[in-house]
């Protein structure tokens, strides 16, 4: 597979690593509007061609697929252009800034018969895949209760750099620059993390969003700091379970930590991913009586990057697909509605996807 890299920002190096670990991939070109960044990226990663625009790359056209690593607000126009040019697309999350755009992208990709996947990176975590397998096989019984959180601290810590002086972080705080705040940045991850592990979807949801004061007059330079910093939500799931989920960038002492607790009628799982170090604990069988938790060893799993390559090779889509991401975007869109109305809203049942390999 000949691959074009659209965008050379912070996540791009992970895409290079992920795709080069997959068999049969050649990264043939990269696109970036910043010529200096593009040149440095190409030299660092031995990429033969560079283009200043996607239009120029599509005019050249000698590639099979793109990996879209642009800012959130750019995903829609660039992905639509690539799809209409007949290119398979692997897109960073969130798929779009609203459900209408995400749904249009989904329908276009499916109508054209093109492989479409979204990089929900925690699907690469073996412990998450094992938790999904355990729950799907009935080992904890019917799921009753879900607790999930995603905690970051970069608004109170300089461990990842100073957000006050770096566009890399400032754009994530500004709706004008295409951000949907913590909700779109890491909220989509924890929503997928919880629902995928539990093998269910969101039925009724209620969100509260908060944007805290961070600078004089709420702005730094061209960046108006109006995107949400924290969200909390409650949900009823389609399997009847109740869920409590929250995420924030103000969690001192937590660089990048996910926690998930799922309890069923026969047992439970605790899954943590502390700064990219995951651990799965289980309480099953007789251990339920003594409240004994045991760490479960797991085997490596295929990454999203490798699954996308396999999907293109086979001509058959795999998860996480555009349709799955569009359904998640529908839930994210409801956050603003429930915040405004201060009441719970029904999330319409997700449309059944076309045939995919999970």
The average pLDDT across 333-355 equals: 75
pLDDT at 353: 45
* 351 pLDDT above the threshold of 50: no
pLDDT 10s digits, 53-77: 999 999 999 999 999 999 888 999 9
Share of the chain above pLDDT 90, in %: 89
Contact 142, 122 (CB under 8 A): no
pLDDT at 348: 63
Of 16, 104, 90, residue with least CA distance to 317: 90
Which residue is associated with the tokens 């390999």? 357
* 355 pLDDT above the threshold of 80: no
Contact 181, 227 (CB under 8 A): yes
Identify each DSSP E strand in the chain by its residue range.
Answer: 2-6, 26-31, 49-51, 65-68, 88-92, 116-119, 143-152, 202-210, 219-220, 223-224, 230-237, 242-248, 256-264, 268-274, 277-283, 294-295, 345-346
pTM above 0.75, yes or no: yes
Pairing of strands 256-264, 242-248: unpaired
CA pair distance 202, 188, nearest whole angstrom: 13
Contact 201, 327 (CB under 8 A): yes
CA pair distance 218, 177, nearest whole angstrom: 15
Convert 65-96 to b/e letters by CB count within 10 Å (16 or more is b). Answer: bbbbbbebbbbbebbbbbbebebbbbbbbbbb
CATH C-level class of 2-122+306-318: alpha beta
pLDDT at 168: 84
Higher confidence at residue 191 or residue 179?
A: 191
| pLDDT class of 356 with cuts at 50, 70, 90 | very low
- Average per-residue pLDDT for the chain: 94
* 103 pLDDT above the threshold of 60: yes
pLDDT 10s digits, 10-42: 899 999 999 999 999 999 999 999 999 999 999
pLDDT 10s digits, 252-309: 999 999 999 999 999 999 999 999 999 999 999 999 999 999 999 999 999 999 999 9
pLDDT 10s digits, 208-247: 999 999 999 999 999 999 999 999 999 999 999 999 999 9
* 127 pLDDT above the threshold of 80: yes
CA pair distance 265, 262, nearest whole angstrom: 10
3-state class (DSSP) for residue 259: strand
Would you list the domain boundaries of the chain?
Answer: 2-122+306-318, 127-300
pLDDT at 180: 87
Share of the chain above pLDDT 70, in %: 97
CA pair distance 114, 101, nearest whole angstrom: 17
| pLDDT class of 2 with cuts at 50, 70, 90 | very high
CATH 3.30.360.10, applies to 127-300: yes
């Amino acid at each position: 597979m000949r691959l074009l890299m659209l965008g050379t920002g912070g996540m791009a190096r992970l895409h290079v690593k992920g795709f080069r670990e997959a068999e049969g991939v050649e990264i043939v070109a990269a696109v970036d509007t910043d010529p200096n960044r593009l040149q440095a990226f190409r030299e660092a990663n031995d990429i033969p061609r560079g283009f200043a625009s996607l239009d120029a790359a599509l005019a050249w056209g000698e590639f099979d697929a793109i990996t879209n690593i642009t800012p959130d607000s750019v995903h829609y126009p660039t992905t639509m252009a690539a799809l209409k040019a007949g290119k398979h697309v692997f897109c960073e999350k969130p798929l779009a800034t609203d459900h209408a755009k995400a749904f249009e992208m989904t329908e276009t990709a499916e109508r054209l018969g093109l492989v479409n996947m979204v990089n929900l990176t925690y699907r690469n975590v073996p412990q998450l895949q094992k938790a999904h397998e355990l729950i799907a096989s009935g080992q904890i019984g019917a799921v009753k209760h879900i607790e999930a959180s995603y905690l970051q601290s970069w608004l109170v810590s300089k461990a990842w750099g100073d957000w006050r002086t770096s566009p890399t972080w400032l754009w994530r705080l500004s709706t004008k620059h295409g951000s949907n705040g913590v909700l779109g940045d890491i909220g989509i991850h924890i929503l997928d993390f919880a629902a995928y592990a539990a093998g269910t979807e969101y039925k009724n949801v209620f969100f509260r969003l908060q944007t805290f004061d961070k600078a004089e007059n709420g702005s730094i330079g061209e960046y108006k700091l109006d995107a949400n910093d924290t969200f909390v939500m409650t949900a009823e799931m389609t399997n009847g379970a109740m869920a409590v989920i929250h995420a924030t960038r103000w969690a001192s002492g937590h660089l990048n930590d996910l926690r998930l607790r799922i309890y069923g009628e026969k047992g439970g799982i605790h899954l943590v991913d502390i700064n990219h170090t995951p651990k799965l604990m289980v309480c099953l069988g007789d251990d339920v009586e003594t409240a004994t938790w045991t760490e479960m060893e797991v085997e490596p799993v295929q990454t999203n990057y490798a699954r996308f390559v396999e999907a293109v090779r086979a001509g058959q889509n795999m998860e996480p697909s555009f349709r799955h991401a569009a359904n998640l975007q529908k839930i994210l869109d409801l956050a603003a509605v429930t915040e405004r109305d201060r009441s719970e809203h029904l999330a319409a049942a997700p449309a059944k996807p076309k045939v995919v390999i999970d």
